[in-house]
Structure 1
Amino acid sequence: MSTTGRLLVTGAAGQLGRLVVAELAAAGWRVVAVDRRIPAALPDGVRPVVADIRRPDDLRQAMAGCEAVIHLAAHTNPGAGSGADVFAGNTAATFAVLAAAAEAGVRTAVLASSVSAYGMSYAPQLLPPRYVPVDEDHPLLPQDAYGLSKQADEHTGAMFTRRHAMSVVALRLHWVATAAQIHDRVAATAADPGFGAGPRELWGYVECRDAARAFRAALEVREGCHTVQVCAPDTLSPEPTRTLLERFHPGTAVRAALPGGTGLWSTDRARRLLGCAPAWTWREHQPQHPEAIHR
């Protein structure tokens, strides 16, 4: 696909959206950056559009002349509103964006999905994975409106592939964070491996620039509908991965050796389909005071 074409990004003013826009602009795309407010400090050549993606006319005007779309705009967790609002808002927005894309003749779409679709992140009780490393074939068992909305979004993408021969890639993102945020979480996890969502989310993460690069790479997929996990290759914990499993998920089937701090989320499909996988790890990019982590 030409990287001099026009491309629309929804949710362009968000933390990830700004990085995706910058990544695409640097690669030569003519980006239409859509959000309900104008993103600050846009790269040269990026056209900002203030629009409500729930309005068909707004989407139709913004999509004109585009050959690809990246859809990031969404409620990003179950606490962003009532369950009904989160589910309805996310699924309606995804359908509206893909419908406008199909009407405009767009044949390439990349969606922001989430590992929350597996159901572990927000389950009422700790829900062990069936097996590790978790791959894209693991059952999706959401128990919350957000995870369910992401599962539905993936099915919506598949429908548009069937009906319009649109190439759709749904990237199942893990926790997307800056290096500083990751190091803070590592320090907390070093003090307590059970900290926060660690055991639920299998201590996964992805550095935000790696996430942005995954969206650019996904634009090169030419046909079909695909789900792809986007996760770092290691865990957030200084403890060995096997030790974490024995403590928190002793009944989970282990399908790989998992030496050292190896991550529990497979990146095989990302490497095979996208030609790349997240590479940034906190272990290779230590903060100025590493004793804050290894204590």
Structure 2
Amino acid sequence: MTELPRRVLVTGVAGSVGQATLDLLARRQVAVTGLDLRDPGGLPLDRLVVGSAGDPETVRRAMKGAEAVIHLAALPAPVLGTPEEVFCGNTRGTFVVLEEAGRAGVRRAAIASSMSALGLAWSGRTLHPAYVPVDENIPLQVEDPYGLSKQADELTAAMMSRRHGMTTVALRFPRLGGVDDKLRHTAEEWAADRAAGARELWSYLDVRDAARAAWLAVTRPIEGHHVVTVAAPNTLMSEPTEELLAVFHPDSELRAPLPDRAVPVDLRAAERVLGFTARHVLP
């Protein structure tokens, strides 16, 4: 049985998934070091390092005493900076955090990847998945710096597993939200513009489930490197999924039935590798 970490370094701790992760770790009485560019105040942790995940000295200080790392820090969309800032900033942060973790002897790390690695979400043209339900082996079609940064992050994590002998899990997150009603607003947005939702396969995940997936990624008795897609089992849409696919992704091969509002994402790896299924599901 894997020994649970006594201290976890969480980067990007001020973000929505970061705060949900803090809440989960507090309930489990796990000590946390947070790393973020700012201190929003009031975070439930005993140590906060303010600085960049891309700065080795800052990360080295933050890594002190950590037995696992949950790396969430990133610019989460290509519109939040120049292409260079998004790609170079995100990939540098992931490389530095995992390299410093390896040097410090940390053997468990989870990183936030994204379904944007598929390429559909931010492309300047309409793209379609080769098949549905999409899985971790589907051909990627990235045309934007954010999706490319996540593809590179996954490769970096795989390399760090080989380089340092650590176990790494890259979590491909869909559209995220939680108690702030963001997901309900997204559902309204996609109901009004179904094509916009098609870029993200109408998929979603509550941040509380995202935090639990990250915890499982650093505590499950697994080894090596894994890419895992985590999502709720249903879409945010009211229409049947296969009807939506016939309209918006008509040429994508249907490899398995998708009854009712089933999300067109293969969730078996999340169940097999992490023992994860979403608990916070919108009706």
Question: For 1:52-104, what per-residue CA distance to the aligned partner results, in whole angstroms no more than 9, with x for missing partners?
Answer: 22222211111111111111100111111111111110111111101111111
1:224 alignment counterpart: 224
Post-superposition offset of 1:48: 1.9
Alignment of 1:120-159 (within 5 A): 120-159=120-159
Q: What TM-score do the two structures reach when normalised by structure 2?
A: 0.95
Structure 2 vs 1, CA of residues 190 and 86 (structure 1 numbering), >3 Å: closer, same or farther?
A: closer
1:36 alignment counterpart: 37
The DSSP-based 3-state class of the residue aligned with 1:95 is helix
2:9 alignment counterpart: 8
Contact kept, 8 Å, 2:49 with 2:58, in 1: the verdict is no
- Counterpart-to-counterpart distance in 2, 1:270 and 1:10: 22
Unaligned runs of 5+ in 2: none
Structure 2 vs 1, CA of residues 4 and 161 (structure 1 numbering), >3 Å: closer, same or farther?
A: closer
1:249 alignment counterpart: 249
Post-superposition offset of 1:235: 0.9
Alignment of 1:1-295 (within 5 A): 1-3=2-4, 5-43=6-44, 46-179=46-179, 180-194=181-195, 197-221=196-220, 222-283=222-283
Higher-Rg structure is 1
- Aligned residue pairs total 280
Unaligned runs of 5+ in 1: 284-295
Contact kept, 8 Å, 2:13 with 2:34, in 1: the verdict is yes
Structure 2 vs 1, CA of residues 55 and 188 (structure 1 numbering), >3 Å: closer, same or farther?
A: closer
**Residue identity (%):** 46
The DSSP-based 3-state class of the residue aligned with 1:155 is helix
- Counterpart-to-counterpart distance in 2, 1:167 and 1:68: 10
**Residue type matched to 1:213 in 2?**
R
**Residue type matched to 1:23 in 2?**
L
The DSSP-based 3-state class of the residue aligned with 1:93 is helix
- Counterpart-to-counterpart distance in 2, 1:52 and 1:126: 35
- Counterpart-to-counterpart distance in 2, 1:218 and 1:160: 16
User: Which has the higher mean CA deviation after the structures are superposed, 47-56 or 77-86?
Assistant: 47-56
Contact kept, 8 Å, 2:234 with 2:261, in 1: the verdict is yes
User: Which has the higher mean CA deviation after the structures are superposed, 16-25 or 32-41?
Assistant: 32-41
Q: What TM-score do the two structures reach when normalised by structure 1?
A: 0.91
Post-superposition offset of 1:50: 1.6
The DSSP-based 3-state class of the residue aligned with 2:69 is strand
The DSSP-based 3-state class of the residue aligned with 2:203 is coil
Question: For 1:21-75, what per-residue CA distance to the aligned partner results, in whole angstroms no more than 9, with x for missing partners?
Answer: 11122123211011122243222x5322222222222111111111111111001
